[in-house]
Chains A and B, each alone.
Chain A
Amino acid sequence: MNPSDEELLFTAAAAFDDPKERGAFLDVACRHDSELRKRMDEMFEIEEEAATFFELQPEVQPDGETAEPSADEEGIGGHIGRYRLITRIGAGGCGVVYYAEQEKPVRRKVALKIVKLGMDTEAVISRFEQERQALAQMDHPNIARVLDAAATASGRPYFVMELVGGEKITDFCDANHFNIRQRLELFVQVCRAIQHAHQKGLIHRDIKPSNVLVHWQEAVPMPKVIDFGIAKATAGINGNHATVTASGQFVGTPAYMSPEQAQGSADIDTRTDIYSLGVLLYELLSGRPPFDLKRITESSTDEIRRIIREEEPRRPSVALKAAAPEQCATIAENRATDARNVIEQLSIDLDWIVMKAMEKERSRRYDTATGLAADVLRYLKNEVVQARPPSRAYRFGKLVRRNKLVFTAGSIAVFALIVGFGTSTFMYFREKAARQEQARLRQRAELRSYISQAAVKLKYNDIAGADELLAKVPIAETPSSLEAASSFAAVADWHAHAARLKEAAARYSSMIRALASVDNSDIPDVSFNLLPAAGGVAYSGGAQAYEELRQFAIKRFGATTNPQVAEQTLKACLLLPADKATLQALTPLARIVERAYDANNGVIDGNPSFTVWACFAVSLMNYRAGEYDEAVLWNNRALEVREWNPARVETAAILRAMIEQKQGRPMYARAFLAQGRAPIRNAIATSSWRDAGTYWFDWINAAILLHEAEQLIANR
């Protein structure tokens, strides 16, 4: 093979961004040369690696890049990438922050944060890259934009952010003697910013006072959340210790970290930010974080984990009461009031709002940042807040959990306790029912959040990521919404094209449920979705699931008057034999199709391909009902129409084979079976059913009927 041809082929194939399309292109282009195909596949596999291999050669830099600043000498005036360092703003646990100027392509002032040594640069940058698009989508006045991430010449990762002035929120509030109300109003703004990010699928993971800067903007305090996307990028490499570096150091600030995050759980969701918001509120109100900072810094990693996971912090008002009088006085003065007043204000409802946000168990926290903000606003408007002091039953439960050993040790003790709690036992069960209801609501909220996160992922073409989320939604509990339906349809299609029919079928079933109550219009576009769902479910062998889907379809479309909807519902519901009740429910649908056929001289909607399917559907209905003469009549009508989609012709032939067998004409039956069998088997075996142009499920549905026909005809 001529090498320049190979180059042409590579270049042409590289033009396809979608690996699927590229694969299809190479399938055709290399159909006579499997060796070449293999070489091409390998080239695309190593393409990126090859690019990195060559990238070490520095790019053109006319005046050269100055070495990055070392620890002692600040590197002011030097360059990092296309940024010129102006002054050092500060240094934190994570690294050094510089005030810098971007020179190209636009000149602007930025904040540049160099991550401290010891981090795996490539992993940091690649994790950042994963979130770059989502970060770019964030557009909120209270969120500082993250502009760029790269590595310095010596390989230290750095982040470039919108330059934000101001003080950290706690200092700002103290310096301006903000009273409780003003603090709460500021906090609500922060919650809204976090909610915005959550809706874009981004979790901050490191909310703390120093990451919320406030400045005056025309006499209005303006909070800005900084460092979005950085905590995740700089987290440890393996999921197990996502918050701890290789050397065992916490990446974030443990005092503000949720228990699940401190534990290093890989399963972190938006509720980790709710916890940190709770801690932030705690400090805004009471003047100190819930866990003693000194104690935290002096503890070992394991001890910190234990504290965060197990220790119940004192309520803000209690903590304040316990503080030294002069300290308490300062805190109160910063809040433009006296100590007694602060404690009083806190102990009404605010204590419980904070404690609810900071629940150890995330399912007990507020579901969303908006929920937290709403409760704060309710407090400000003197309305009843959601957060409540824990009931006695709850506290009892907690007591039991904490002292399991004691409680199970002796039945006498248990008995005594139950007697002691006599009245509250009744309360306990009522509380339990209420809690179960609440848990159910929470679960639904969680499922909905999976759906919206998946929709975001789909927007960025991350189908696998979306599927991972959607797979967590049990079919029977699929929330109904158009968003859910279209997300499920997208991933179902993706599975189908990769021949993962079981998954496709499951997602289609979810999709059908998602459509249940949102779109009640009987239009063919909606019922059309039944066909892949039914085919997928029946083919991958879920008889029970198919029956459920069938009953669902009858409930949803059984009353339609649209012939096309009727035809699609019939086909989808009759792929497998049906009982009498099902057939009865479907009979009106068959009548609608028949009438449409008769009224239009045998062409429905002027569309031959629809006509042939309509005749097929009525024939199938009659066959299932044992009306074989009628079945033959309609089958003839279906076979009469010649058109391009072979799946339709072959499916009609298979049905005919079954009718003939039932009519006692095995010779004909075999002839029709033989006609249909080869093309269907071939289509399934070569996966040509996945080709664009025909609907993939047409062949699947054909194969289902073929299976039934083969059983029937072999049995005689």
Chain B
Amino acid sequence: MQTSLDEIRKILETLNRTDSPVSAELLPLLYDELRNLAAGYMSRENAGQTLQATALVHEAWLRLSKEDARMWSDRAHFFRAAAQAMRYILVDRARAKASAKRGAKAETLDIQTLDLAEATMDERVLLVDDALHRLEKENPESARVISLKFFGGLTEKEIAAMDGVDERTIRRRWAFARTRLFQMLREEIKLPQ
């Protein structure tokens, strides 16, 4: 843990200077950290209960920043990376559960037979993940807000503080983004087989 902490710091420092998007190098580290946390949470919780993304991300943040908060001045990078990592964890978990239920082969959801309103949390995770890939191409800003809110569990206030904009701006973005993504899902369901 100690070594990875140092590594993360280094990477984030570089990120701060270069202003590049979150590097792929950082992700696995956060991913491990979050997964450890998630494992702890899940053992405490009943099966079927959703991961509390926010709690995990915040706890990871606290652990990683405990020693020297100064180095972690760029929360934005951290949260973006953490949201991404949470997305991987949640999607993995949902896939694993889905295939356990339907047999080893079933790795994908049969979207055409799905009722969006009735979808379970795990199904929603997979659906959003899938549509998010497409939304990223169409409107990266919207995709980012969804990733932070839905997977990262951040509040509108936190995202607004991170982006340095008004909370209302984020609320509007979120309203558009989720509606657009939901529209994409609906369109897909309506496609003929």
Contacts and interface: CB of A to CB of B under 8 A. Distances in A.
B181 A50 contact: yes
A556 B50 CA distance: 70
Contacts of A6: 180
B183 A46 contact: yes
Interface stretch (A53-61, A304-312, A693-701): A53-61
Given A7-B173, A60-B155, A50 B124 contact: no
A72 to B, nearest CB: 17
Contact of A57 (B46, B153, B183): B153
Contacts of B150: 54, 57
Given A3-B139, A4-B139, A7-B139, A58 B179 contact: no
A11 B116 contact: no
Contacts of B182: 46, 49-50, 53-54
A50 B53 contact: no
A42 interface: yes
B102 interface: no
Interface in A50-74: 50-54, 56-62, 64, 67
B186 interface: yes
Contacts of A61: 52, 54-55
A49 B141 CA distance: 22
Contact of B176 (A7, A46, A56, A60): A7
Contacts of B119: 53
Interface in B5-60: 46, 50, 52-55, 58
A468 B142 CA distance: 42
Interface of A: 3-4, 6-7, 10-11, 14, 39, 42-43, 46-47, 49-54, 56-62, 64, 67
A53 B116 contact: yes
A62 B55 contact: yes
Nearest to B158: A60
A47 B55 contact: no
A57 B179 contact: no
A53 B138 CA distance: 21
22 contacts: A4-B141, A6-B180, A7-B173, A10-B176, A10-B179, A11-B172, A14-B172, A39-B183, A43-B179, A43-B180, A46-B179, A46-B186, A50-B183, A51-B178, A53-B117, A54-B178, A57-B50, A57-B149, A57-B150, A58-B52, A61-B54, A62-B58
Given A49-B117, A56-B124, A57-B153, A11 B55 contact: no
Interface in B139-156: 139, 141-142, 149-150, 153, 155
Contact of A56 (B50, B180, B186): B50
Given A56-B121, A62-B55, A11 B155 contact: no
Contacts of A62: 55, 58
B165 to A, nearest CB: 13
B109 interface: no
B176 A11 contact: yes
A42 B187 CA distance: 11
Contacts of A11: 172-173, 175-176
B138 to A, nearest CB: 5
A61 B54 CA distance: 8
Contact of B53 (A39, A46, A57, A67): A57
A64 B58 CA distance: 13
A58 B54 CA distance: 8
Nearest to A48: B179
A381 B146 CA distance: 70
B178 A64 contact: no
A54 B180 CA distance: 12
A43 B142 CA distance: 15
Contacts of B173: 7, 11
Contacts of A54: 124, 128, 149-150, 178, 182
A59 B153 CA distance: 7
Lowest 3 A-B CB distances belong to which pairs?
A50-B182, A3-B139, A50-B179
B43 to A, nearest CB: 14
A59 B142 CA distance: 20
Given A4-B141, A14-B172, A61-B52, 5 more contacts: A11-B173, A46-B183, A54-B182, A58-B50, A60-B155
A151 to B, nearest CB: 15
B117 A64 contact: no
A35 to B, nearest CB: 14
Contacts of B124: 53-54, 56
Contacts of A60: 54-55, 58, 153, 155
B37 to A, nearest CB: 13
Contact of B138 (A3, A50, A57, A64): A3
A33 to B, nearest CB: 17
Contacts of A58: 50, 52, 54, 153
Contacts of A3: 138-139, 142
Contacts of A49: 116-117, 182
A37 to B, nearest CB: 14
A3 B173 CA distance: 13
A62 B153 CA distance: 12
A64 B44 CA distance: 12
Nearest to A65: B52
Contacts of B128: 54
Contact of B179 (A4, A47, A56, A64): A47
Nearest to A54: B178
A489 B175 CA distance: 36
A42 B183 contact: yes
A455 B180 CA distance: 38
A684 B55 CA distance: 60
A39 B176 CA distance: 12
A56 B180 CA distance: 18
A208 to B, nearest CB: 37
Contacts of A50: 178-179, 181-183
Contact of A47 (B46, B53, B175): B175
Nearest to A15: B172
A43 B183 contact: yes
A407 to B, nearest CB: 57
Contacts of B52: 58, 61, 64
Contacts of B180: 6-7, 10, 43
B175 A14 contact: yes
A364 to B, nearest CB: 46
Contacts of B55: 60-62, 64
B62 to A, nearest CB: 11
B132 to A, nearest CB: 12
A407 B52 CA distance: 73
B84 to A, nearest CB: 16
Contacts of A14: 172, 175-176
A213 to B, nearest CB: 38
A82 to B, nearest CB: 15
Given A14-B172, A43-B183, A60-B153, A7 B142 contact: yes
